[in-house]
Structure 1
């Protein structure tokens, strides 16, 4: 039986920010041994992971998210730190963190509610906006917290970018990059009235 593709809604990272991050990651990759590094074109901030979505519920979510984001504006986000999820000595996920943004929290709540309204049962953990950089620690020695300070050395000020859209991505496990934009929801720079 063929596996159903996975889908998720995310904030797209613009090209200029991806290029800066790619450059930083190439410099630290050898110092921080993880099994799988995320391709720079796959960098994003997940808002709602849908998993293997039945087409009727996915269609409903696509419609609901369009309505929910119809009056949302572009937002400026700042990448300001590195972090980990999982064991402190052998982390499962290595990520870049986003400075606190009330606007991002609002957008996430709208997307999340729109997906639940469509019938999805979503992850209930608190939203911790981040950009996954790598997975599965494979170092010979335990992970050291000092490694998280490498970001500040490479990027002394936060890496700022304008998030101009939310995207519905489909995962292709056999491709690189593996996330394909299926639907794009532009965030308007100013409200338009019709």
Structure 2
């Protein structure tokens, strides 16, 4: 990928307290889960629509349409839930933190996805599975301990909830850490 051909995606920008909470959890548990690459805390997010490479004029059009749509949205709360994986159960490729089912989140994702599809962007059609990627590529000879997956709780062993009030359009820079740069930010 040349330097001027970045990939883009719309995502929920997580509040700093969520990033801090997840990073603390990772620091306490990362030796139990030997993954090759741990995600930088500044890169934690919930992807709503991955756009890939997009020509600048089309990107600007989609940005404006999403921005107009978000002017009519209200903030809503999400709650961290479970830890999970994607890929092989024995040797997963993605280690993630999930959120409890949210009608507001699902509806928001559908609206953004629809705008992108109507602009003829070639989007991944897999079902929406909201998650925050924590690490990639299991790196152990041992089988991943999937039966011991903890729930994400605050220090009082209660739910960790937060308010969603920002959507970002991120630009990917694979050769940097953190690797996602805010290209546009929408507050609602």
TM-score bracket, normalised by the shorter chain, equals: over 0.9
Secondary structure at the aligned position of 1:135 is classed as strand
Give the length in aligned residue pairs.
187
Give the TM-score, by structure 2 length.
0.94
Q: Deviations over 1:126-185 (max 9, x none)?
A: 101110110100012010113412646978322211111110000111111111111111
Give the TM-score, by structure 1 length.
0.91
Unpaired stretches in structure 1, ≥5 consecutive residues: 188-194
Q: Deviations over 1:24-70 (max 9, x none)?
A: 10010111000111000110000000111111221111011112212
Quick check: 1:8–1:51 contact (8 Å CA) kept in 2? yes
Secondary structure at the aligned position of 2:84 is classed as strand
Secondary structure at the aligned position of 2:122 is classed as coil
User: Do structure 1's residue 2 and structure 2's residue 2 form an aligned pair?
Assistant: yes
Alpha-carbon distance between aligned partners in 2 of 1:139 and 1:110, rounded to the nearest angstrom: 40
Match of 2:37 in 1: 36
Unpaired stretches in structure 2, ≥5 consecutive residues: none
Two-structure CA RMSD over aligned residues (Å): 1.7
Which stretch shows the higher mean deviation, 138-147 or 97-106?
Answer: 138-147
Change (3 A) 1:85 1:113: same
Change (3 A) 1:45 1:79: same
